């Protein structure tokens, strides 16, 4: 399989619960891949395995292989901290650091990497906030708290924060589920603009969202990957009966 990210017989567990079952999947570079499926189908867990965030939950573990550019990120030699610097993540609920300013939030990851040069930090803050389509709204207010802005702005700030460390992959875990339709549309436009530069995987429970923005779509059910393909083909002409049932809304 070709792809920026390839999973091979990936299994994920929470204690005894088998959340992701034997998933083989390739996420192509410079495209948006959506992962859809009903609640609890393991779609969030799957992408959390791609930056090794799954294992930070107590009692969680994963087996199998996940290749990033051909390198197995679950190799015992691989440092999860290095993986996460290459694979950024945006979460379901906006989670800017409340004790930091907008500026400090945007460059938090760079500061972690030891960047102290103010001109570089200033440049990175502006670049990442522009990329996240937030610059014009906050440029006169960079010293305000990261939680003083609206929910949609906070989520774009989190996207800026993830982009500032220049990752290769951006994972988004239902990034719009807490946002109103206008804020959602802004983030969708933004992702569309970003896909030339990044590999993007987005988990969503919103099928219309997947249909609008994704080049490829994966459908998961009860921890298994049921079907994966180009979005248009998967929605118009699903190969699996389960997929068809889900996208037509005939689901228990």
Site for other proteins, rule CB under 8 A: 51, 53, 56, 58, 81-82, 84-85, 88-89, 91, 93, 95-100, 108-109, 112-113, 158, 161-162, 165
Q: Which is nearer to other proteins, 51 or 231 (CB)?
A: 51
| Alpha-helix residue ranges (DSSP H) falling in 89-237 | 102-106, 108-112, 118-131, 135-138, 151-164, 181-194, 207-213, 231-236
> How near is the Cβ of 168 to other proteins at its closest, in Å?
13
* Helix, strand, coil percent values for the chain (each to nearest 5): 35, 25, 35
Spatial CA neighbour of 55 closest among 31, 84, 27, 29? 84
Q: Which is nearer to other proteins, 73 or 207 (CB)?
A: 73
> How near is the Cβ of 114 to other proteins at its closest, in Å?
11
> How near is the Cβ of 21 to other proteins at its closest, in Å?
24
DSSP three-state, residue 186: helix
Q: Which is nearer to other proteins, 161 or 195 (CB)?
A: 161
Distance CA 218, CA 206 (A): 13
Burial class (CB in 10 A: 0-12, 13-18, 19+), 97: middle
> How near is the Cβ of 174 to other proteins at its closest, in Å?
13
Q: Which is nearer to other proteins, 50 or 220 (CB)?
A: 50
Distance CA 248, CA 95 (A): 34
DSSP three-state, residue 1: coil
Q: Which is nearer to other proteins, 108 or 222 (CB)?
A: 108
Q: Which is nearer to other proteins, 10 or 106 (CB)?
A: 106
Query: Using alpha carbons only, how large is the chain's radius of gyration in Å?
Result: 18
Distance CA 69, CA 50 (A): 12
> How near is the Cβ of 44 to other proteins at its closest, in Å?
12
> How near is the Cβ of 12 to other proteins at its closest, in Å?
16
């Amino acid at each position: 399989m070709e792809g920026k990210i390839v999973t091979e017989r990936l299994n994920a567990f929470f204690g005894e619960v088998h959340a992701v079952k034997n998933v083989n999947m390739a996420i192509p570079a410079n495209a948006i891949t959506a992962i859809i499926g009903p609640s609890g189908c393991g779609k969030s867990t799957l992408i959390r395995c791609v930056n090794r965030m799954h294992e930070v939950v107590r009692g969680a573990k994963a087996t199998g292989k996940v290749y990033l550019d051909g390198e197995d990120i679950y190799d015992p030699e691989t440092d999860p901290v290095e993986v996460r610097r290459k694979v950024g993540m945006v979460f379901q609920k906006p989670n800017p650091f409340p004790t930091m300013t907008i500026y400090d939030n945007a460059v938090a990851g760079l500061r972690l990497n030891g960047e102290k040069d103010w001109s570089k930090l200033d440049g990175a803050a502006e670049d990442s906030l522009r990329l996240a389509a937030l610059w014009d709204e906050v440029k006169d207010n960079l010293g305000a708290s990261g939680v003083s802005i609206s929910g949609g702005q906070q989520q774009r700030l989190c996207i800026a924060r993830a982009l500032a460390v220049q990752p290769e992959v951006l994972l988004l875990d239902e990034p719009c589920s807490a946002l109103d339709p206008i804020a959602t549309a802004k983030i969708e436009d933004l992702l569309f603009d970003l896909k030339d530069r990044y590999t993007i995987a987005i988990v969503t429970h919103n099928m219309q969202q997947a249909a609008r923005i994704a080049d490829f779509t994966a459908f998961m059910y009860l921890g298994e990957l049921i079907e994966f393909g180009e979005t248009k083909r998967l929605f118009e002409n699903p190969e699996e009966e389960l997929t068809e049932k889900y996208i037509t809304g005939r689901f228990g």
